[in-house]
Copies of this chain bind each other. A is one copy, B any other.
């Protein structure tokens, strides 16, 4: 894997609303993966979760994460390893999920009944396949 920053070509691709999977480590040290929306901004990734997610708890305990973004025809994909440097809840957490939902669906996030928490991910290394 290489160190950031990413070449402009990959940076631009990551700004698209790609399919993405986030990998975290559960409390027992086992890997956990789930599909996630994300935003790529200034070389960092922003993800956002329901405030009640167990994942949030184990990410606070071990902030190391891995992301794999899969481009359109998924013969191209970029993996990013990093760590969460900041969790943000409250109104900002809700604003962020609206911003992310607009990026993917063109509309604000439809659910307002539960709190949302953002996690900013600083990238430590990356690798691109199929380019």
CB of A87, distance to nearest CB on chain B (Å): 17
Question: Does A12 touch B at the CB level, under 8 Å?
Answer: no
Encode contact with B along A33-64: 1 for CB under 8 Å, 0 otherwise. 11100000000000000000000000000101
Across the interface, A129 reaches (CB within 8 A) one of B25, B29, B35, namely B35
- Whether A66 contacts B35 by the Cβ 8 Å rule is no
Do residues A31 and B35 form an inter-chain contact, with CB atoms below 8 A?
Answer: no
The stretch of A3-11, A73-81, A106-114 in contact with B is A73-81
* A24 CB within 8 Å of chain B: yes
Q: From DSSP, what is the main secondary structure of chain A's interface residues?
A: strand
State in angstroms the CA–CA spacing of A51 and B37 once bound together: 32
A68 to B81 CA separation, bound complex (whole angstroms): 17
A100, CB-defined interface residue at 8 Å: no
Give chain B residues whose Cβ lies under 8 Å from the Cβ of A29: 25, 29, 62, 64
- In chain A, positions 76-112 with a C-beta closer than 8 Å to chain B are 77, 79, 81
* Chain B nearest Cβ from A22, distance in angstroms: 8
The interface residues of chain B lying within 8 Å CB-to-CB of A64 are: 29-31
Bound together, the chains give a CA A25 to CA B25 distance in angstroms of: 8
